[in-house]
Amino acid sequence: MKQFLVVQHTYSEYLGGIEKQLENRDIGFVYQRPFTGSSLPASALQYDALWLLGGAHAVTDLAACPWIGDELRLLEAFRRARRPVIGIGFGGLLVAQGCGGTPHAEPLHDAHWTTAHATAAGRNDPLARAVDGRRVLVMVNGRVDLPPAIAPVAVDDAGNWIAVRCDALTYGLLFRPELKPGMLEDMIMEEGRLIPDDIGELLATARSEWRETQHTTMAVIAALVQALDLMRERRKMPVFALNPVHDKR
């Protein structure tokens, strides 16, 4: 069975609207939560793909996210093993950083509804074509400047990157196809979380555009399946069980 590893950074931010899309395709997934103190695996060879989800901090905030170094090493392990990697929000910034980008703590919040625009680099990219002209919610903290050698495949209305394909099997997204209105409500209620001043307006728009957002999420998943060959099960290392042998003498 296909099995995806999903790294979750807050309780409020999980696969959300993407879960059903994966389940419908008979894809299993397991969550790892480093923010609770659990360790991340060191190898990619037991999984078919890696998802890095949203978070409440900038990727420069090592005090709040002391596991970032381990997560970047895990990302690189998946890339070396030729396994697909999809980063969303905070995870999208980590992907960009892991591909040579420069991280910054500011802006504290970058949260806005925008129209996605495919770039020249994304003209033939399945994901860029799927979101081109669609309304999407960008939601991250801080930013990562892309290295000169990597061009975004999609940008927002202001021309800022919101999707990058670092290599054939690695995407970083700053827009949030997984978010449901209820997840935004949970973020508002999350103890100690800093939220954008206009979070009420963002939530109201999420509610009013929920029907169309679901179509966008389906289009994004279909494009990722096509671009990354997500329905193909990768070869995994065997897991050995050590059975004790009892001496009958």
Q: What is the pLDDT of residues 134-185, one digit of tens each?
A: 999 999 999 999 999 999 999 999 999 999 999 999 999 999 999 999 999 9
C-alpha span between 190 and 202 (Å, rounded) = 16
C-alpha span between 96 and 91 (Å, rounded) = 9
43 lies in which domain range?
2-228
Look at residue 122 and tell me if it is in a domain: yes
Supply the CATH number for residue 9's domain.
Answer: 3.40.50.880
Burial of 187 (0-12, 13-18, 19+ CB in 10 A): buried
Look at residue 71 and tell me if it is in a domain: yes
Look at residue 149 and tell me if it is in a domain: yes
Strands 152-155, 161-167: pairing kind? antiparallel
Look at residue 247 and tell me if it is in a domain: no
Look at residue 242 and tell me if it is in a domain: no
Look at residue 161 and tell me if it is in a domain: yes
Whole-number Cα distances in Å, 194 to 9, 87, 118, 226: 15, 21, 31, 36
Strands 49-52, 102-104: pairing kind? unpaired
Phi/psi for 19 (5° steps) reads -55, -50
**Structural domains counted in the chain:** 1
Strands 85-88, 49-52: pairing kind? parallel
Look at residue 212 and tell me if it is in a domain: yes
pLDDT of 117: 98
pLDDT of 1: 77
Q: Are 92 and 160 spatial neighbours (Cβ–Cβ below 8 Å)?
A: no
Cβ burial 92-121 (10 Å sphere, 16+ → b, else e): bbbbbbbbebebeeeeebbbbbbebbbbeb
Look at residue 243 and tell me if it is in a domain: no
Q: What is the pLDDT along the chain (249 residues), one digit of tens a residue?
A: 799 999 999 999 999 999 999 999 999 999 999 999 999 999 999 999 999 999 999 999 999 999 999 999 999 999 999 999 999 999 999 999 999 999 999 999 999 999 999 999 999 999 999 999 999 999 999 999 999 999 999 999 999 999 999 999 999 999 999 999 999 999 999 999 999 999 999 999 999 999 999 999 999 999 999 999 999 998 876 655 445 555 554
Unique residue bearing structure tokens 């949260």: 111
C-alpha span between 130 and 116 (Å, rounded) = 10
